Structure 1
Amino acid sequence: MSNHQNPEQNQSMNAPGTDGIPADASPEEREAALAANEAQAAADMISVQAEMDGLKTRVAELSDHFLRAKAETENARRRAEEEISKARKFALESFAESLLPVADSLEAGLAVKDATLEQIREGTEVTLRQLKAALERNKVIEVNPAAGSKFDPHQHQAISMVPADQEANTVVTVLQKGYLIAERVLRPALVTVAAPK
Structure 2
Amino acid sequence: MTTAQTPQPDLSSDQAAAADVGADGAAAHPAEAKLAEVESRLAEMSDAYLRAKAEVENIRRRSEDEMSKARKFAVESFAEALLPVMDSMEAAIAMPDAKVETVLEGVHATKRQLAAALERNKVLEINPAAGVKFDPHQHQAISMVPAEQEPNTVVAVLQKGYTIADRVLRPALITVSAPR
The reply on whether 1:83 has 2:85 as its aligned counterpart is no
Paired AA for residue 43 in structure 2: A
Tell me which residue corresponds to 1:99. 82
- Deviation at residue 92 of structure 1 after TM alignment: 0.6
What is the alpha-carbon distance in structure 2 between the residues aligned to residue 104 and residue 165 of structure 1?
Answer: 47
Tell me which residue corresponds to 1:169. 152
Paired AA for residue 74 in structure 2: A
Paired AA for residue 29 in structure 2: I
Tell me which residue corresponds to 2:43. 60
Per-residue CA shift, 1:114-146, capped at 9, x if unaligned? 111100110000000000000011110100000
SS at match of 1:146: coil
TM-score (norm 1): 0.77
SS at match of 1:96: helix
Tell me which residue corresponds to 1:19. none
Q: Which runs of 5+ in 2 are unaligned?
A: 1-16, 22-26
The reply on whether 1:112 has 2:95 as its aligned counterpart is yes
What is the alpha-carbon distance in structure 2 between the residues aligned to residue 51 and residue 113 of structure 1?
Answer: 94
Paired AA for residue 80 in structure 2: E
Per-residue CA shift, 1:70-99, capped at 9, x if unaligned? 111111111111111110000010111100
Identity of aligned residues (%): 66
What is the alpha-carbon distance in structure 2 between the residues aligned to residue 148 and residue 50 of structure 1?
Answer: 86
Aligned pairs for 1:17-166 within 5 A: 46-166=29-149
Per-residue CA shift, 1:142-180, capped at 9, x if unaligned? 000001111111000000000111111110000000000
What is the alpha-carbon distance in structure 1 between the residues aligned to residue 136 and residue 33 of structure 2?
Answer: 76
SS at match of 1:150: coil
What RMSD, in angstroms, separates the aligned Cα atoms of the two structures?
Answer: 1.6
- Answer with 1 or 2: which has the greater Rg: 1
Runs of 4+ residues deviating >6 angstroms: 42-45
What is the alpha-carbon distance in structure 2 between the residues aligned to residue 107 and residue 175 of structure 1?
Answer: 30
What is the alpha-carbon distance in structure 2 between the residues aligned to residue 191 and residue 173 of structure 1?
Answer: 6
Which structure has more helix as a fraction of its residues? 1
Q: Which runs of 5+ in 1 are unaligned?
A: 1-38
